[in-house]
Structure 1
Amino acid sequence: MAENIGWELYRTFLAVLQEGSLSGAARALGITQPTAGRHVEALEHALNVSLFTRSQLGLQPTDVALALRSHAEAMQHTAASLERAASGHADGAGVQGVVRVSASEIVGVEVLPPIIAALRERHPRLVVELVLSNRVQDLLQREADIAVRMVRPSQAQLVARRVGSIEVGLHARRDYLDRHGTPRNAKALWEHTVIGFDKPTAFLRGASKALPGFTRDAFALRADSDLAQLALIRAGAGIGMCQVALARGDALVRVLPNAFAFQLETWVTMHEDLRASPRCRATFDALAEGLERYAR
């Protein structure tokens, strides 16, 4: 097996996996299709394995390629993290460069934008990449520099700050309740259009303990996107879960507050190696302070 295989070969290999073709990988990377083909062939030769087979559907990854994917993704995350770290030291000192922030859909869309806007006003040379995902981003593999998490991090290598608990309750628009009435107990709730998840989640399992019957089969409207659920509530389609602070701003009406109140313990976290980075420190502090105000 060859030594010192260039990163560009792995980068092209990963792009082909992600795009499903040499032409798609070439477009994504800004190279020519023949160059992408040569990179894949060179990597196969260097590793002495076959990575793809051709079919009518395009290039199909072999079992070896699938086994290598997570390692190539880790290399991609490390390379991106290296570039972000270098950007913070270019052309002088101060808060500048790229910082990548991961947050859930709701927090990323509904809560963080004004916090990030104020942060950019203070530090105009800072570039913020906002990743919206309900999947816990792996800070250890540098998929993100900073993450807002609804669970306490357990890894010793992470710096974490608890910003409080965000309360979630059942809410509906006033006109929906005017048309259909307000449920007075859990049994009456299931006579309404209830909005919830399509696939079981840890949040749903926890919620079902607080409110028996709160399961997928009971939901008349289902979506795994928190943003889609919130849009349905705002449209007056039914009763669904919403952060209390957001509902207050939208003038939504809370339903069964004594029966259903779910607390999301919220943390801002980053890798301990970034503690001394001005760009990450400034972003970490701004997010923590802004989220503390929101949680109150």
Structure 2
Amino acid sequence: MDRDADRIDWNQLRAFLATVEAGSLSGAARRLGLTQPTLGRQVAALEAALQVTLFERVGRSLSLTQAGRDMLAPLHAMNEAVELVSLLASRQSQSVEGLVRITASDVYARHVLPPVLARLRREAPGIVIDVVASNEVEDLMRRRADIAIRHVPPREAELIARRCPDSSARLYATPAYLESVGRPATSQALALADFIGFSESVDVLLGELRRHGLPLGKKNFPILSNSGLVAWDLVRRGMGIGIMMDVVARRTPEVVDAWPDFSGVPVPTWLATHRELRTSARIRLVFDVLADCLLHPAGADDN
């Protein structure tokens, strides 16, 4: 690229084009919201950068030179291109059509998101939702998703987060399984039952249940899974007792509360997204619908 072209400023080109269209520096200055001296300096700087004379100055009048006339056609094309880019960007930012990726744990994706997706289909049929079932907190930062539902607050300054109402994790099992172990009603009786645990956090779960008075050991966890969805399915099939958030258990008619005296474990819920939320209408709409459904889960079930 020519080094002189590298020094050309679009503001200078726009000042020249406005001067031609307005017929004077004063008229161009009013059109662009500039002072006349400022606009005059921009035109002069363009002439210096291009090393050509664009206007012949006769008294207070301006006459376009041949070099100036030669520039008009490509400049009009450039101006139209800039306006088109601006229009496309505006349409993109305000469009409620296109792809939005939501990442959530496999359990949330299976049991909590379906009514949200049904509502989005009604309210914004032009949006395509890609559900990324994942427990990785880094999904947003890796740009694998636009919105994340997580149970830990995001720590990155680039993200926007909203705290949703907490869930409560309690113990659940099928009525048949509870009957098979004598329908335990006390912590001592529960110590004889089998529990379904999570491979990567069984020690944390064991410690939490002990803290609540259950005298359990690792022998109580004969089946583990790295998938919350698989673990919950095993509970639904009567393989043992599992811990699960009430927002999921309410959507699982096969299970009942295995220990009504258990106060439960609070589970925080966060919605997080990129700062693009401020400029993208479709991401804002999906974010707001998610927030509303998580705030009013019963209403989401009814939709």
Q: Distance in 1 between matches of 2:179 and 2:259?
A: 16
Q: Distance in 2 between matches of 1:87 and 1:216?
A: 57
Larger Rg: 2
For the 8 Å contact 1:88–1:98, the answer to whether it is kept is: no
Deviation at 1:152, TM superposition (A): 1.6
**1:220 counterpart letter in structure 2:** P
Q: Is the alpha carbon distance of 1:179 and 1:218 closer, same or farther for their aligned partners in structure 2, counting shifts above 3 Å?
A: closer
Deviation at 1:249, TM superposition (A): 3.7
Deviation string 1:62-91 (CA, Å, 9 cap, x unpaired) is: xxxxxxxxxxxxxxxxxxxxxxxx99956x
Deviation at 1:156, TM superposition (A): 2.2
Pair 1:124 & 2:125 matched: yes
Pair 1:253 & 2:246 matched: no
Deviation at 1:248, TM superposition (A): 3.3
Of stretches 205-214 and 258-267 in structure 1, the one that deviates more from structure 2 is 205-214
Which residue is equivalent to 2:199? 198
Which residue is equivalent to 1:233? 235
Tell me, which stretches of 5 or more residues in structure 1 are unaligned? Answer: 1-85
Q: Distance in 1 between matches of 2:163 and 2:234?
A: 30
For the aligned residues, what is the CA RMSD?
2.7
Deviation at 1:204, TM superposition (A): 2.6
Of all paired residues, the percent bearing the same amino acid is 35
Which residue is equivalent to 2:156? 155
Q: Distance in 2 between matches of 1:99 and 1:159?
A: 16
TM-score, normalising length from structure 2?
0.62
**1:139 counterpart letter in structure 2:** L
For the 8 Å contact 1:170–1:260, the answer to whether it is kept is: no
For the 8 Å contact 1:87–1:98, the answer to whether it is kept is: no
Deviation string 1:9-46 (CA, Å, 9 cap, x unpaired) is: xxxxxxxxxxxxxxxxxxxxxxxxxxxxxxxxxxxxxx
Q: Is the alpha carbon distance of 1:167 and 1:280 closer, same or farther for their aligned partners in structure 2, counting shifts above 3 Å?
A: same
Q: Is the alpha carbon distance of 1:93 and 1:284 closer, same or farther for their aligned partners in structure 2, counting shifts above 3 Å?
A: closer
Q: Is the alpha carbon distance of 1:162 and 1:205 closer, same or farther for their aligned partners in structure 2, counting shifts above 3 Å?
A: farther
Q: Is the alpha carbon distance of 1:113 and 1:163 closer, same or farther for their aligned partners in structure 2, counting shifts above 3 Å?
A: same
TM-score, normalising length from structure 1?
0.63
For the 8 Å contact 1:99–1:129, the answer to whether it is kept is: yes
Q: Distance in 1 between matches of 2:89 and 2:170?
A: 42
Deviation at 1:226, TM superposition (A): 0.8
Q: Could you tell me which of 227, 250, 269 is aligned with 1:266?
A: 269
Which residue is equivalent to 1:293? 296
For the 8 Å contact 1:151–1:267, the answer to whether it is kept is: yes
Which residue is equivalent to 1:170? 171
For the 8 Å contact 1:137–1:144, the answer to whether it is kept is: no
